[in-house]
């Protein structure tokens, strides 16, 4: 019997289809896994912005989690938009109750158009309840600054922010580079509890078809971890996946359009991605390069 690995997204619904559980499920499918979902909130959203947020009550979240946990063999879990502290606590308890492993925490805080997707008091709940369970947490630069309390202005402060986030108990952190000021390269910085450093670099693309990039990247990580891939290999695949999704835009909507989730499978043009792997012992010895 050919049974796909089953993975789970716990996140908000994006009516525009570019982010949230819609992006996650598309990504899971494209990477050959079977995706389940727990909806934490419903948003009225399109490419121009978030026009309404309607969080689920705790019982609804709990019953969705337990319905999945009682019937599916979940190999990896991704959390996205969790909105407030009560939902974060419900999700945390559900993950513990079902003993789910390979947790990827995408600490979604701000929508592409600037709308707040996480209440302020929920930041502390993420740090104290959810992050200690994480295999990997995937903040962008603004999210990493909030979680660490450190302003990221250069490579040194980026590492300090990553170290501060790891103090909350996650096994590893990757600070995504999409918000950096480098005009040519998007560089993601990975650090784990053993001190291993990886730099994942790709060409910065001039496009506003970027809605859902964070969701898609973390969903790709989740799919690969759910298939049993080691973290480093999962990271490279996720970077390839999102780079292809950005390089071949769909041109949908009048604002920040969604990424193209099928591009990785359809294009197979791995040269859109140029990754540099650099471990901690290579800082003074140059780069080990991988091209796709």
- Residues labelled as active-site residues: 176, 210, 212-215
Taking the C-alpha atoms of residue 133 and residue 122, their distance in angstroms, rounded to an integer, is 16
C-alpha distance from residue 24 to each of 81, 138, 166 (Å): 12, 14, 25
Sequence-separated (6 or more) residues with CB below 8 Å from residue 254: 47, 48
Phi and psi for 240 in degrees, rounded to 5? Answer: -60, -45
What is the rounded distance in angstroms from the CA atom of residue 10 to the CA atom of residue 263? 24
> Nearest to residue 148, comparing CAs of 129, 173, 183?
173
Name 201's bridge partners: 187
DSSP secondary structure, 190-259, as one string: EEETT--EEEEEEEPP--S--BTHHHHHHHHHHHHHHTT--HHHHHHHHHHHHHHHHHS----SSSSPBP
What does residue 221 show for φ and ψ, rounded to 5 degrees?
-60, -45
Q: For tokens 């650099």, name the residue.
A: 278
Instruction: Determine the Cα–Cα distance for residues 250 and 73; give it in Å rounded to an integer.
Output: 34
Q: How many helices (H) and strands (E) does the chain have?
A: 9, 11
> Please, what is the angle between helix 155-166 and helix 141-148, to 10°?
60
| Bridge partners for 14 per DSSP | 43
């Amino acid at each position: 019997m050919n049974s796909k690995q089953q993975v789970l997204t716990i996140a908000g619904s994006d009516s525009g289809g570019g982010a949230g559980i819609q992006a996650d499920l598309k990504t899971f499918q494209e990477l050959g896994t079977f995706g389940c979902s727990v909806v934490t909130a419903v948003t009225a959203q399109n490419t121009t912005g978030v026009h309404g947020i309607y969080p689920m009550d705790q019982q609804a979240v709990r019953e969705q989690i337990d319905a999945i946990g009682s019937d599916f063999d979940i190999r990896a879990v991704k959390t996205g938009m969790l909105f407030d502290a009560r939902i974060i606590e419900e999700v945390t308890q559900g993950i513990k109750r079902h003993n789910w492993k390979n947790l990827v925490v995408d600490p979604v805080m701000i929508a592409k158009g600037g709308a707040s997707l996480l209440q302020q008091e929920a930041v502390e709940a993420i740090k104290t309840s959810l992050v200690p369970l994480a295999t990997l947490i995937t903040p962008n630069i603004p999210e990493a600054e909030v979680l660490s309390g450190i302003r990221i202005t250069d490579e040194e402060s980026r590492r300090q922010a990553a170290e501060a986030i790891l103090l909350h108990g996650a096994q590893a952190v990757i600070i995504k580079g999409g918000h950096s000021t480098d005009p040519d390269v998007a560089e993601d910085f990975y650090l784990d509890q053993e001190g291993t450093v990886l730099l994942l670099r790709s060409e910065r693309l001039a496009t506003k078809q970027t809605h859902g990039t964070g969701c898609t990247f973390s969903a790709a990580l989740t799919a690969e971890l759910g298939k049993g891939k080691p973290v480093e290999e999962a990271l490279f695949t996720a970077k390839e996946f999102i780079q292809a999704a950005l390089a071949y835009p769909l041109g949908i909507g009048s604002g920040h359009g969604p990424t193209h989730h099928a591009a990785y499978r359809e294009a197979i043009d791995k040269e859109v991605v140029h990754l540099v792997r650099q471990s901690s012992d290579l800082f003074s010895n140059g780069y080990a390069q991988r091209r796709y």
